[in-house]
Structures are given as C-alpha cells and as structure tokens.
A = this chain, B = another copy of it.
Amino acid sequence: MRIVVLAGGIGGARFLRGLKQAAPDADITVIGNTGDDIHLFGLKICPDLDTVMYTLGGGINEEQGWGRTDETFAVKSELAEYGVGPEWFGLGDRDFATHIVRTQMLGAGYPLSAVTEALCARWQPGVRLLPMSDDRVETHVAVDVDGERKAVHFQEYWVRMRASVEARAVVPVGAEQAKPAPGVLEAIGSADIVLFPPSNPVVSIGTILAVPGIREAIADAGVPVVGLSPIVGDAPVRGMADKVLAAIGVEATATAVAQHYGSGLLDGWLVDTVDAAAVPDIESAGIRARAVPLMMTDLDASAAMAREALTLAGEVRA
C-alpha cells in the first residue's frame, strides 16, 4: 500500500508515527511543508521537515514536540552575547548542527530535496520525506501594528507574536512560481491513498496545496483522499489555527475546514467524537465523514486515528 501524507510540523509528525504503527508495511511518502522555512544567522532552517525527521527518527523533544531531545543552548547564548538575534527563535546546539549541514549542502549546490534525503540517511525516519518544493516559498502574515499594516514572516507571527494579533491575510510568497520537488507528483500519481493529518489547514497543508500542480495531482489521482480535523470542539487541538483560518474567512470548525478543502479534493473527513453532530452537514457537502477520538495523547491513540483514516479510505473507495 502506497500512502502519500501531506504534513506540517508537530501534528503531522505525531500522526505519521501513528500511521507507521497502524500500517507497518506501507510505503509512505511524506510531502512536507517548507513555507515556514526561515533564514536565521545565515542558516537555512526547515522547522516542519525537521520536526517530521526528528519525530520519526527518535530525536525529538517529546515534551515540546519540536527541537531535539537532551538539547543545550550554548550557541544561541553566545549569539546573544554578540547581540545577534532573534532571541525568540529557539535553536539548540544539536539542532544547529542540522542547519549547518543543510546550509553547507545548499551552498554547494544541492537542492533541498537532496539535502533532506542526506539528512534522513542519518535519521532513518522510515518514510520517504520530500519537501513540497526545492524552490523558496515563505509564508508571510499581514498584521496591523500601531495602525500600520505590515507583513511578517510566519515564524515571527507564530513564535514571536504568538498569534496575539489578528492575521489579516496569509500569503505563501513564492508559491505561485514554485515547482513541486522531484518525486512529489510521481508519488501522488502512484499513491493508493492520500492523507491529510490534523495539520494546520492554512499554513501547513494549505501551503503545500498552493504549489501549482500538487492540488491538481491529488484531485486527479482517482484514489481516496482522507483528512483528519485539526479542530476539535471549535478550537484547534494545538497551535493557533483559528487565527489563520479567520484570515482566509473560514470558521474554526471541523465542518468549515472540510468544506474549505472541498469535495473536489477531499473524499473522507474524520471529526472528533465531540463533533459527531457535524457529520451530517459534512456528508451533505459530499464528503464521507466519521466521528472518532482525535486527540493524539499517545502513540496508540495516534495509531488508532491512522487506522480510522485507512478504514474510511477503504469505505470511500468502495
């Protein structure tokens, strides 16, 4: 069974760990969001790719869900002594090594997809991890600060501002000119199932779908496309998805997110049991829906969710 998964960071990575347990023999290709990539300290940082890689490779800081376990912060503390920031972006020493290797390889001319493959040679995530594109895409968020509208990098909005001001618009800068990375369209074209984990529908999965060719390839693949709602009981399970959903005019409900993807793209949608009442509405929009527990409290819970997604995929295929 060939499964293609579009993934953001923490939610995508934890779902993937469950999927690997639920379908140990599956051939899994992950198309990772690179819209939240950022250049800091002259280094190229790919937070979502790294979160997937570290989580599946056993190097993740389990408590916070991102960054390395047993991390130290000597480099960052020294950079601050030089007055070099930003200080709001948490980069540990072990994590720095990843960015140093990546930046060195990119500088030597390797595309991000080749760099990611090289990094994964160490981590052995048990999936094929592809960046959505080798081209630079950078998600910017328009915010009003002191009465002036300005665009900030998504990381600045998310990490520094903690999404505390309203997002007026979310723009994946460069997406329109980006090409899918080598292997992306081929993986979708030969997939048996496409899954959308409970990742952010705007800045994670939405950004991946904004790369020309990817949405079309999924819609045209003729295979079940099943997603899991990141909204449970009208609030995001983690993160601040409601803020960026509002920016694109989508309500923060499991139903609205399903309708945002649309029946042209999505065949099946899992909502949490607390949102069971939404199932008929979603189904009337042409998307098969089921209500199941959607809290990834531990690996078994994530695996159960993955099994429900695969089951729903089987139903929509039939």
The residues of B that contact A100 with a CB separation of less than 8 Å are 41-43, 75, 79, 96
- Interface segment among A81-89, A132-140, A248-256, A302-310: the answer is A81-89
A82 and B119 contacting across the interface, CB-CB below 8 Å:
yes
Q: Chain A at the B interface: mostly helix, strand, loop or mixed?
A: helix
Interface string of A97-127 (1 = CB under 8 A from B): 1101101100100000000001100100000
Tell me the complex Cα distance, A76–B96, Å. Answer: 10
| A210 CB, min distance to chain B CBs, angstroms | 29
A78 and B104 contacting across the interface, CB-CB below 8 Å:
no
B103 and A75 contacting across the interface, CB-CB below 8 Å:
no
Q: Which residues from 58 to 76 on chain A have a C-beta closer than 8 Å to any C-beta of chain B?
A: 72, 74-76
Q: Which residues from 17 to 74 on chain A have a C-beta closer than 8 Å to any C-beta of chain B?
A: 41-43, 72, 74
Q: Does A93 contact B (CB under 8 A)?
A: yes
Tell me the complex Cα distance, A101–B81, Å. Answer: 11
Interface string of A251-295 (1 = CB under 8 A from B): 000000000000000000000000000000000000000000000
A82 and B97 contacting across the interface, CB-CB below 8 Å:
yes
Tell me the complex Cα distance, A81–B59, Å. Answer: 12
Tell me the complex Cα distance, A42–B41, Å. Answer: 13
Tell me the complex Cα distance, A97–B79, Å. Answer: 6
